Every structure is written in C-alpha cells, then in structure tokens.
C-alpha cells in the first residue's frame, strides 16, 4: 500500500472495524453490527448521507432534520417501491405491508379508519389483559433465579399481546407466526419472501374466519370492511390481508428489542430502577427514552420519484433512500447526550417511531407493553442484574437492530398463578 492511500485510510472517519461506512455502508455487515454505536456517531458527525454498494446501492440519511424532511415529503420519497435494500417482499405475488408500503391519499384512508383503535385511550383498555400476559411470563421464569430474558420474556410478550389481547385467538400458532415474522424481517434475505407468504396465509385465514362471525367492534372489523382505493373502488381482499400483516410484523421484533433493552438498562442502572420504583411519574418518559436510545428499526426505505438532493448530496430518480430512525433519534442537534437514557429528559419527538404520514400507528401499544412490563418487573424482579461475566448479544439484519440474548439473575420468587 502506498503511503498516500494509507494516510487516507487512517484519516477517513468512516473507516470503522475495517469497513468504510461512509462509502460502503451495509446494514447486514458484521462491521456495522459490531460497531453499531460508533458508526452511528460517525454518520451523524461527518456523513449525513452515506452510500452503500449492497443490493445495487442505496443511501442512508442520518440527521434528524434531513430525516424529517424526507419522511414528510412522500411525493418525492415514495414508500410504494420497497422498504429494505434486499426488496424481500417485492414482485409478483409478494406479500406486502400496508399502510407501510402505500402513499397518501390511499394510506391516509387506512390510517383514519384504524387510528381510533390505537389511540392511547383505546389501547389502555387492553392493559389488564397485557398485565396477565406479563405476569404469566414472569411466573415462568421467577422460580429459577436466572433466565435468558429475551427467550423467556421479551420475545414472547408482543406475540401474546397481538394474538391474545388484540385478536383474541389461541396461542397454538403463535410460535410458528413469531418465527415466520422474524424470518421475514431479519432472516437470510433469500428466505424473506417465503416467510412473508407464511404470515400472509395465516392472517388471510384468520380474516376469512372472522368474516363469517358477528362483528366484535375491534380493528379487525374495520380491516374487513376495508377502505376505498384512490379510484373510489373498494379495496381487494389482498390489501386487507397486507394490513393485518403490517400490524403483526410491525409490533413483534420492535417491541421484543425494546423490552429486552429496558431489562438491560434496569439490570445495569440500579439507581434508575430505584427512582422508577418511587417516582412513578417518570416511567412513561423512561420508556420513551429506552425506545429512542435503543431504536429497534435502524432504517426504513423510500424511493426517489425524481432527481433531487438531500443535504447537498444529489439523489437520482429511482434511488433507494434509507431513512435512519436509529441515527436520527440520537442526533446531538436534537438532544444533549443523546446516547444516554435520561429519566428527566422530555423527549421532544421520538424519531424511533419515524415521522410524517407513516409515523408508527402502534406506538401506544409498544409503550403500554413496556410500561406494564416495567411495573411488574420493578415489583417482582427488584434486584434484577446481569448474569456475572455476560453481556447482551445484539445482531443487525435487514432494517432491524435486535438484542438476541440477555442473561439475567435475580432472587427467585413465587409464581402468582397468572392465567393468560
């Protein structure tokens, strides 16, 4: 290597762990997974629009202001042409996610129809049922005094809440659906299409069953009713199934990750746990801080519908632009010490839930799962701590950041006999 090239490599702040993340970023790379925080810092500091060579190339937008501008401007940055670089659910016969993969005004119709079922007030009606699931899962681990908290709790709760509290179906098919939605979002790219189809088939069957039953006054009734498309025609059955798929997939891996990260934070910050026990008014804020700092969605895509620019970087019509929630919500231009969970911080706007027309419709469900879990954990696992000599294991795949393993220890307690 010539001295000149060596000098450039040494002074390139995007070169972290052996990869140039400014010019050769890759969501699926081990260099990114292993240096996640460092890469985000470098992008935010020096490279507002990074480039990837993977899957034919894409851009990564990290700063909050640029993120918000693009997320708001759905006419220039459409959601209809894929949300991830591998385009795992594109093409003929693919199972899509609605309203994630449609633009206003059709997307707005779905949001207006379904929004009332996901307001804070509407979601609060499920709190007792969520508490039963939380206590049931804690019953399953409390006698051992040790657990992989991801396996035993965080990966179980979101599916139980969606199936049990929201759909009111038995858990027989839950493990298969959990696996399929996980494979679809973050499994090997070549298997994602098939995994989406498995999720779609299950939910299509569920919709068909419900269509033959009396209405229950829940969001599934509204999905079954559908909304008119842009041409005024009623939407086809397929769009209803795509909507169910989005609600299932949108809430599984995301909440699993944030629940696990919350447990990690409690286990490693006993002073925060103590404050949260007494100062209950801090809890909602704490939950939002965990979601912000440990954002489960690193980035979601839009496609440029015309030649444009972002932060001075020319973007060509047809380019895939990944808007990074994971980076934008830690932008130091928005919050001081943005990487730290601060119980007293009033988060101005949590970009981990995105921004603009696609801002997460399930945010209140995710928050309530976490708040309820927090309440029960502070009571039943008061001395939760990391198992000695262990650290959490994370992975990145596709658009998601996930905690895969969290070994914790605590004083064994008694089952309470929750029936969920």
**Interacting residues with ligand HEM (CB under 6 A):** 71, 79, 99-100, 107, 111, 246-247, 250-251, 254-255, 258, 291, 296-297, 300, 325, 352-354, 358, 360-362, 365-366
Nearest approach, Cβ of 105 to ligand HEM (angstroms)? 13
Q: Which C-beta is closer to ligand HEM: that of 43 or that of 368?
A: 368
Judge contact between 52 and 25, C-beta under 8 A: yes
Q: Which C-beta is closer to ligand HEM: that of 29 or that of 107?
A: 107
CB atoms within 10 A of CB 129: 17
Nearest approach, Cβ of 197 to ligand HEM (angstroms)? 19
Q: Which C-beta is closer to ligand HEM: that of 15 or that of 134?
A: 134
Nearest approach, Cβ of 412 to ligand HEM (angstroms)? 30
Nearest approach, Cβ of 342 to ligand HEM (angstroms)? 18
Judge contact between 262 and 373, C-beta under 8 A: yes
The residue number whose beta carbon is nearest to ligand HEM equals 362
Q: Which C-beta is closer to ligand HEM: that of 52 or that of 165?
A: 165
Cα(330)–Cα(352) distance, integer angstroms? 9
Helix (H, G, I), strand (E, B) or coil at 142: helix
Nearest approach, Cβ of 413 to ligand HEM (angstroms)? 27
DSSP 377-415: HHHH-TT-EEPTT---EEEEETTEEEEEE-EEE------
Question: Encoding tokens for residue 265?
Answer: 């934070």
Residue with tokens 């798929």: 245
Residue with tokens 């899509």: 96
Q: Which C-beta is closer to ligand HEM: that of 23 or that of 364?
A: 364
Distances (CA, A) of 415 to 135, 264, 404, 420: 9, 23, 26, 13
Q: Which C-beta is closer to ligand HEM: that of 142 or that of 315?
A: 315
Q: What are phi and psi of 115, to 5 degrees?
A: -50, -45
Nearest approach, Cβ of 390 to ligand HEM (angstroms)? 24
């Amino acid at each position: 290597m010539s001295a000149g090239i060596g000098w450039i490599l040494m002074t390139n702040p995007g070169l972290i762990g052996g990869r140039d993340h400014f010019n050769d970023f890759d969501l699926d790379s081990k260099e990114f997974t292993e240096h996640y925080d460092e890469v985000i810092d470098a992008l935010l500091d020096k490279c507002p629009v990074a480039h990837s060579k993977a899957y034919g190339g894409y851009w990564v937008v990290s700063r909050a202001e640029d993120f918000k501008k693009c997320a708001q401007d759905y006419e220039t940055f459409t959601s209809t042409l894929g949300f991830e670089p591998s385009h795992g659910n594109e093409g003929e016969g693919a199972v899509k996610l609605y309203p994630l993969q449609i633009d206003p005004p059709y997307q707005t119709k779905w949001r207006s129809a379904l929004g009332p079922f996901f307001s804070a007030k509407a979601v609060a009606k499920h709190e007792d049922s969520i508490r039963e699931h939380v206590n049931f899962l804690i019953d399953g681990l409390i006698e051992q005094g040790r657990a992989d908290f991801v396996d035993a709790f965080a990966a179980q709760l979101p599916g139980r809440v969606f199936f049990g509290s929201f759909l009111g179906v038995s858990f027989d098919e839950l493990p298969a659906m959990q696996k399929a939605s996980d494979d679809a979002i973050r499994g090997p790219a070549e298997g994602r299409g098939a995994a989406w189809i498995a999720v779609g088939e299950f939910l299509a069957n569920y919709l068909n069953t419900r269509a033959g039953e009396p209405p229950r006054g829940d969001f599934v009734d509204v999905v079954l009713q559908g909304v008119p498309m842009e041409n005024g025609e009623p939407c086809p059955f397929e769009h209803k199934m795509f909507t169910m798929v989005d609600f299932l997939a949108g809430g599984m891996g995301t909440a699993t990750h944030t629940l696990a990260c919350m447990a990690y934070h409690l286990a490693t910050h006993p002073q925060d746990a103590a404050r949260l026990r007494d100062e209950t008014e801090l809890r909602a804020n704490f939950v939002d801080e965990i979601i912000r700092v440990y954002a489960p969605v690193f980035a979601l895509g839009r496609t440029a519908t015309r030649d444009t620019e972002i932060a001075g970087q020319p973007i060509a019509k047809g380019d895939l632009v990944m808007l990074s929630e994971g980076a934008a919500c830690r932008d130091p231009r928005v919050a001081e010490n943005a990487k730290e969970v601060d119980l007293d911080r009033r988060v101005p706007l949590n970009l981990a839930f995105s921004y603009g027309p696609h801002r997460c419709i399930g945010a209140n469900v995710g928050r309530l799962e976490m708040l309820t879990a927090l309440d029960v954990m502070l009571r039943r696992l008061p001395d939760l701590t990391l198992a000695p000599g262990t650290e959490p294991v994370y992975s990145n795949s596709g658009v998601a950041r996930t905690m895969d393993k969290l070994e914790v220890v605590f004083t064994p307690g008694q089952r309470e006999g929750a029936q969920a």
